[in-house]
C-alpha cells in the first residue's frame, strides 16, 4: 500500500459513532506504527482532510472532505436520487432498505430508510463498513466485480460476525456464482443474527458495479409472501436507481429472475 493509500485509509475509520478519533486509537485500528500514523495525519491535517479543535487532541474530518463530497454529489447525485428510491422500496416491502457504495477497497453504507409499519426493524448506520463475505450487499458487489478485486477481497482475513457467517473462500465463490445466475444476493444471519437480507448490484455509466441496494428484515417476518415480494420489488428499485444515475447493467445481468 502506497503512502497516499495509507493516508486515505485512515479516513475510513471515521463514522457516525466515531466522529472523533485520537492518535492511539487510530494506531490500534489501522495496525500501523504510531509514528507513521502521526505523520500521515499531520499531512492530512495540512491539506484540510482532518482537523483538531483548540485544546482537543482528537482528530475529526476536515472541510476538504465536505468540499469533495459536495462536488461528487453535484456530478453524480446518487445520494439525492437514492433517498426517493429507498423510501419507495421501504414503503413497498415494509422493511429497512439501504444503499452501499464502493469506496476504494471498502463497501460503505451510504443511506437508508425505515418503514413505519413495524416497531421492530433492522437498524442501520450510515458510513458503516460492510464486509463482502458477510452481507448480501457485499456478495452482490463481488458477483460483478473484477476477478482481481474478488481475489483480493477473499484473500483478507474474513471476520466471523455470527455463527452463520461463511468464511470459507470456496463456499463464498459458490455463493457469488449463484448471484451471477440470478442477479440477486441473499444473506441469512451472516452479518447480524436473525436478519435476512436481499441485495442487487447498482451499476455506473461504464456498466461496472459501484455498490448495492438492499432490503433487510428480521428472519421471523420472512413469510412466503415476503420472499416473493422483496426480490421483485428490489429488482425493480435497483434498475430504477441504476437508470437514474445514468448507469447501465452489463449485458449478462439477469433481468427476469427474482430468486
Say which CATH number the domain at 63 has. 1.10.10.10
Is 118 in the same domain as 38?
Answer: no
- For 244-252, what is the mean pLDDT? 89
Q: How many CB atoms lie within 10 A of CB 212?
A: 29
- pLDDT score at 80: 83
Is 80 in the same domain as 65?
Answer: no
- pLDDT score at 75: 58
Is 159 in the same domain as 63?
Answer: no
| Mean per-residue pLDDT of the chain | 90
Residue 256 lies in a domain: no
Residue 252 lies in a domain: no
- pLDDT score at 203: 95
Q: What is the pTM of this model?
A: 0.74
**Taking 60 as the threshold, does the pLDDT of residue 211 lie above it?**
yes
Domain end call among 69, 84, 99: 69
Residues 83, 1: Cα–Cα separation, whole Å: 35
Which residues constitute the domain of residue 63? 3-69
- pLDDT score at 137: 97
- For 130-157, what is the mean pLDDT? 95
Residue 65 lies in a domain: yes
Question: What band does 74 get if pLDDT is binned at 50, 70 and 90?
Answer: low
Question: What band does 65 get if pLDDT is binned at 50, 70 and 90?
Answer: confident
> β-strand 60-61 against 96-103: which pairing, if any?
unpaired
Is 101 in the same domain as 174?
Answer: yes
Task: Please report, for the domain that includes residue 212, its CATH number.
Answer: 3.30.450.40
**Taking 60 as the threshold, does the pLDDT of residue 219 lie above it?**
yes
Residue 175 lies in a domain: yes
Is 167 in the same domain as 43?
Answer: no
Residues 42, 35: Cα–Cα separation, whole Å: 11
DSSP state of 145: S
**Taking 90 as the threshold, does the pLDDT of residue 105 lie above it?**
no
DSSP-assigned letters across all residues of 30-79: H---HHHHHHHHHHHHHTTSEE--TT---BEE-HHHHHHHHHHHHHS-HH
Structural Rg of the chain based on CA atoms:
19
Domain end call among 69, 92, 115: 69
**Taking 50 as the threshold, does the pLDDT of residue 259 lie above it?**
no
Is 13 in the same domain as 53?
Answer: yes
Question: What band does 256 get if pLDDT is binned at 50, 70 and 90?
Answer: low
Number of domains in the chain: 2
Residues 44, 38: Cα–Cα separation, whole Å: 10
Is 37 in the same domain as 162?
Answer: no
Is 122 in the same domain as 225?
Answer: yes
Residues 188, 136: Cα–Cα separation, whole Å: 9
**Taking 50 as the threshold, does the pLDDT of residue 171 lie above it?**
yes
Contact assessment for residue 228 and residue 217, using Cβ atoms and an 8 Å cutoff: no
Residues in Cβ contact with 154 at an 8 Å cutoff, skipping those fewer than 6 apart: 132, 133, 169, 172, 173
**Taking 80 as the threshold, does the pLDDT of residue 73 lie above it?**
no
Domain end call among 23, 49, 69: 69
Is 140 in the same domain as 21?
Answer: no
Is 63 in the same domain as 93?
Answer: no
**Taking 50 as the threshold, does the pLDDT of residue 258 lie above it?**
no
**Taking 50 as the threshold, does the pLDDT of residue 158 lie above it?**
yes
Residue 257 lies in a domain: no
Amino acid at each position: 500500500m502506497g503512502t497516499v493509500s495509507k493516508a486515505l485509509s485512515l479516513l475510513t475509520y471515521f463514522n457516525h459513532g466515531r466522529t472523533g478519533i485520537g492518535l492511539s486509537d487510530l494506531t490500534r485500528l489501522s495496525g500501523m506504527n504510531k509514528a507513521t500514523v502521526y505523520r500521515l495525519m499531520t499531512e492530512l491535517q495540512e491539506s484540510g482532510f482532518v482537523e483538531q479543535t483548540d485544546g482537543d487532541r482528537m482528530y475529526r474530518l476536515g472541510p476538504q472532505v465536505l468540499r469533495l463530497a459536495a462536488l461528487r454529489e453535484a456530478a453524480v447525485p446518487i445520494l439525492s436520487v437514492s433517498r426517493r428510491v429507498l423510501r419507495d422500496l421501504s414503503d413497498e416491502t415494509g422493511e429497512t432498505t439501504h444503499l452501499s457504495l464502493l469506496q476504494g477497497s471498502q463497501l460503505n453504507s451510504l443511506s437508508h430508510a425505515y418503514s413505519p409499519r413495524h416497531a421492530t426493524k433492522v437498524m442501520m448506520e450510515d458510513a458503516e463498513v460492510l464486509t463482502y463475505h458477510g452481507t448480501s450487499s457485499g456478495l452482490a458487489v463481488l458477483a460483478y466485480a473484477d476477478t482481481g478485486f474478488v481475489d483480493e477481497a477473499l484473500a483478507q482475513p474474513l471476520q466471523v460476525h455470527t455463527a452463520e457467517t461463511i468464511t470459507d473462500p470456496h463456499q463464498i465463490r459458490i455463493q457469488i456464482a449463484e448471484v451471477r445466475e440470478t442477479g440477486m444476493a441473499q444473506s441469512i444471519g451472516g452479518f447480524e443474527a436473525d436478519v435476512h437480507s436481499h441485495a442487487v448490484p447498482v451499476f455506473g455509466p461504464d456498466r461496472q458495479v459501484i455498490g448495492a441496494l438492499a432490503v433487510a428484515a428480521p428472519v421471523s417476518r420472512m413469510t412466503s409472501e415476503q420472499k416473493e415480494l422483496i426480490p421483485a420489488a428490489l429488482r425493480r428499485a435497483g434498475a430504477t436507481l441504476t437508470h437514474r444515475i445514468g448507469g447501465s447493467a452489463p449485458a449478462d445481468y439477469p433481468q427476469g429472475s427474482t430468486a
